[in-house]
Structure 1
């Protein structure tokens, strides 16, 4: 079965299903990018400035899974993920971890050769002249089921039932487990990313249209699944097993520690690779990974931003 470009801007238990399937069925989704088609491979800053924010982060669905009841778990096996041949990354004023330090808009368009298929098998150039390339690791940033609460819920934040979890490890070969709160679960998906670092710190990844195939299965007797759980694919992430450079932030406020770690990486990339602050911030978002290194020695937390050295192909 397949479902194509069915869009909505809110999670809502009252939204009628666009498809009914049996537990264990496979469904293919044809998803637009996070701009809902407002940005194209030829877009410029004027197009970014004209974005209708009410149309961002649309999702495809909802899909009703027969037999799913509150208290069950929906198992989502991610079978295949295929990104388009282009994507975009942007700094959107007012959005992102360091939004107060980057007030100006910026837009980067990507060519994504060989982006379809398995994670980590292809690369896209971030800056070919400087020899900086990013491994493609395609996944859907939005996967979730409807919450039980009445009312409309934006698709921008994540919820305990999933939604915009932006977790790059839930790619082809991964399995996501979602707590069911309503009859039929009402599963939705969208927000294709060709690559993203853990944290998506500038607010966008490599945003791209995407085709995703999943198997939806109702599972019972898993009361411990109260929030999204997942298993990762057998293959590790692009940075696993390789050398990284890490900057840290130390602060009693965990968010400020995180901001300091990202600032440190931006400064490092500028000093060692000649990147502008804007480009360095974008690179942190699509290739850098945030890590929580220390949380018990109060009053301070230690947060790290790790950048894989393998993305730099020139000394």
Structure 2
């Protein structure tokens, strides 16, 4: 029988470091509830101004909550993270232009700040109002920008960029009902999450906000299958659009990240569906969607190869990674 555990705001850290003691220890299949501040770590508020952005203490940004030690997780395994529920915990959020960050950093050198009001936010639905007169409303689709496990390389490693083990992957598809798969590099996996987002476009900057979330953490063991998960993979629910399984590439060169995402999908299709590499490559070209997920937090980009699950029509074929649970 699974248990429910809690990771509180006080259980926060500012680096991926496998020497950080666990906040909680759980069994495979347990549920963990998280209460996380926004990415500014409470430095921005509804009354903040662009000057507040310029004054941000970067050493306090992008904190994550955890880590969670999952019993039975070992290097070479995969940690399955089922997002059960996630919603903003406050009625406001912010978006900012932080000098030096973003795809057009050279074009926008000055700090800017947008404060959003979140309507009907408590259950992760509702909308964000752009202002009082334009009529622009952004549907809320909350997710955590940071979800990852500790790296094997001795730390500390900054929480600002994404890594092969997750981290600041800023992938808007990881809403409630989605599943993230992470390669485990250290005993216990040491999972952490944070950086709440109320909404975001692919590759863009989010409406940052504090969140409450619950996830189920399950260890997967099956060498032939878990070997293909060497960067974050994820599976999306059908609503509000078509369901996908996605492999990612994480690299400081955006072209290499795209190549890696496709190569990882080819490897998955070979293991899960028995396709020859050439056939899998053709399928990626015909049916897959290659998307930018994260292009803001240097030095690494996250590019995804998203395969629609609907193309797998045989009984039992879902396009989802299968493996043995512990």
Report the TM-score range of the alignment, normalised by the length of the smaller protein: 0.7 to 0.9
- 1:145 Cα shift? 0.4
- Report matched runs for 1:94-133 at 5 Å: 94-118=100-124, 121-133=125-137
Q: SS state of the match for residue 186, structure 1?
A: strand
Partners of 1:28 and 1:129 in 2: CA distance: 37
Partners of 2:127 and 2:71 in 1: CA distance: 40
Partners of 2:181 and 2:122 in 1: CA distance: 24
Out of 45, 48, 57, the residue aligned to residue 50 of structure 2 is: 45
Q: Within the alignment, does 1:92 sit opposite 2:98 as a pair? A: yes
- Report matched runs for 1:203-214 at 5 Å: 204-214=205-215
- 1:223 Cα shift? 1.7
- 1:226 Cα shift? 1.1
RMSD (Å), alpha carbons: 1.9
Q: Within the alignment, does 1:140 sit opposite 2:141 as a pair? A: no
Report what 1:72 is aligned to. 77
Partners of 1:56 and 1:103 in 2: CA distance: 19
- 1:291 Cα shift? 4.7
Report what 1:295 is aligned to. none
Is the contact made by 1:177 and 1:225 (CA closer than 8 Å) also made in structure 2? Answer: yes
Out of 151, 163, 173, the residue aligned to residue 167 of structure 2 is: 163
Structure 2: which 5+ runs fail to align?
A: 243-252, 256-289, 293-326
- 1:17 Cα shift? 0.8
Structure 1: which 5+ runs fail to align?
A: 241-252, 256-289, 293-315
Residue 254 and residue 153 in structure 1: after superposition, are their counterparts in 2 closer, same or farther (change >3 A)? closer
Partners of 2:79 and 2:67 in 1: CA distance: 13
Report what 1:296 is aligned to. none
TM-score (norm 1): 0.73
C-alpha distance after superposition, 1:178-230 (max 9, x if no partner): 11110000000000000000001xxx310000001000111111221111111
Report what 1:217 is aligned to. 218
Once the two structures are overlaid, the 10-residue window that deviates more, 45-54 or 176-185, is 45-54
Is the contact made by 1:72 and 1:220 (CA closer than 8 Å) also made in structure 2? Answer: yes
Out of 20, 24, 49, the residue aligned to residue 19 of structure 1 is: 24
**Runs of at least 4 residues of structure 1 off by over 4 A?**
none
Partners of 1:104 and 1:48 in 2: CA distance: 10
Is the contact made by 1:145 and 1:185 (CA closer than 8 Å) also made in structure 2? Answer: yes
Is the contact made by 1:115 and 1:138 (CA closer than 8 Å) also made in structure 2? Answer: no
Report what 1:58 is aligned to. 63
Partners of 1:224 and 1:96 in 2: CA distance: 31
Q: SS state of the match for residue 54, structure 1?
A: helix
Q: SS state of the match for residue 51, structure 2?
A: helix
